[in-house]
Amino acid sequence: MPVEVILPKVDMDMATGQISRWFVTEGAVVKQGDVLFEIETDKAAMEIDAPASGILLDVTGKEGVDIPVGAPVAWIYADGEAYGADAVAKQDEAPISPLVGEMSAKPTEGGAVPPASHSAAPASGLPAISPTRGEISQSPLGARATPLARRLAREAGIVLSNIAGTGPYGRVVKADIDAAIANATPRVAPEAPAAAVASAPAPKPMSDDQVLKLFAEGSYELVPHDNMRKTIARRLVEAKSTIPHFYLTLDCELDALLALRTQLNAAAPVKKTEKGEVPAYKLSVNDMVIKAMAMALMAVPDANASWTDSAMVKHKHADVGVAVSIPGGLITPIIRHADEKTLSTISNEMKDLASRARSRKLKPEEYQGGTTAVSNLGMFGIKDFAAVINPPHATILAVGAGEQRAVVKNGEIKIANVMSVTLSTDHRAVDGALGAELLGAFKRMIENPMGMLV
């Protein structure tokens, strides 16, 4: 039997994916484990291997087209396995489970099953289509069809024997099923009872036509959304629509942290590499922010949570996601157990994750989940901003640029390096006072950074 090649689910939230490119062509001989194609999700590009050895045929997955998860994109036939007329004959001879609407008769006393009547309309309301491409002998148990066509027909409630196949040797193919569905008479749904009180319709975004009418023709270029951008847009709309965001902002003085960072980097041991001798680590301010956020969550464990409708998920470790800008979007690789890791470990791990994120080589487990996130736009000179929470997180910390500001100390005006941070919280899980407690713990870690070393 041929082996189905499907579009796999490589992301927890993945509903569709796109084949960015095929590495083999239809009719090619492949071995199990050979790379067949590359798929693009909103997070990464991943290579998909052949599940079996044989000949790649019935390729339906097109490059650059959204494909549902689990949908077949091709079939692999074993070397020497019948295909075409011979395969059709063998399929007709093999016992086949009855399709919807094809068999309703029970065995007679002699055990024979009378042929199913094809004169009745299919249960789905799809039209009965008579063969038009010459006479094709039909098995009483089913029509000649590709495995994909059989599955689609079964899902749509189509009687295969009523379909005129346009494939090789009169075989029913996917296009025939699509045509039958397109020509079907829509079924009328029963009228729903009138609501007691008519609710106001939900506001809808402007349509494409409404947007384009606002601009002179020829004054713009249309750039189709890729899968990453569409998924990012969908998730952001869901997050802002379903999570009640609450925001808290405060300032942190950085002088002690910057001094400690300089000392630690100067004390870094040297290691030999292909490029020569390099420091074993080089700490950034963001590395120390990650550590401070992780320790703050452990100091305020009630804020280290995720919301579900049935229960509060209380996490035992701080897994900190870090927003990384990549071409066409962003991704949030995660530092697992950041509360337990040293600053040097966090720094080196973050550099590796960011590098592989930009080349879209992260594994799903390296960016899925997490208990909080950090988004830093300080390198762009942004003073402060508010970030959107990424479910299942209940918090995200937006970090602004460090800059010299005038501060009052002991009644005197002093100059200090200060950065503003804004904590976004899911108000269902983290109330205002709890969020303030978490942000206060973070501020103490930043302004007394020696605590991150013990």
Contact 346, 339 (CB under 8 A): no
**CATH node for 3-182:** 2.40.50.100
Residue 396 has pLDDT above 80, yes or no: yes
- Select which of 118, 317, 337, 427 is catalytic: 427
What is the DSSP secondary structure assignment for residue 292, as one 8-state letter? H
Coil, helix or strand at residue 57: strand
**CATH node for 244-453:** 3.30.559.10
142-169 b/e (C-beta count within 10 Å ≥ 16 → b): bbbbbbbbbbbbbebbbbbbbbbbebee
Q: 107-141: per-residue pLDDT in tens?
A: 444 444 444 443 333 434 343 333 333 333 333 33
Domain-by-domain residue ranges, the chain?
3-182, 244-453
Pull the structure tokens for residue 279. 């420091």
Closest CA relative to residue 439, chosen from 251, 260, 285, 243 = 251
- The Cα 13–Cα 18 span in angstroms is 15
- Going through 329-394 in order, the beta strands assigned E by DSSP cover 329-331, 334-335, 372-376
Closest CA relative to residue 131, chosen from 145, 151, 113 = 145
Closest CA relative to residue 398, chosen from 414, 417, 416, 382 = 382
Q: 319-357: per-residue pLDDT in tens?
A: 999 999 998 889 999 999 999 999 999 999 999 999 999
Residues in the chain: 454
Residue, of 132 and 49, whose pLDDT is higher: 49
Q: 204-245: per-residue pLDDT in tens?
A: 788 999 999 999 999 999 999 888 888 889 899 999 999 999
Active-site annotation holds for 118: no
The model's confidence at residue 273, banded by pLDDT at 50, 70 and 90, is: confident
Coil, helix or strand at residue 376: strand
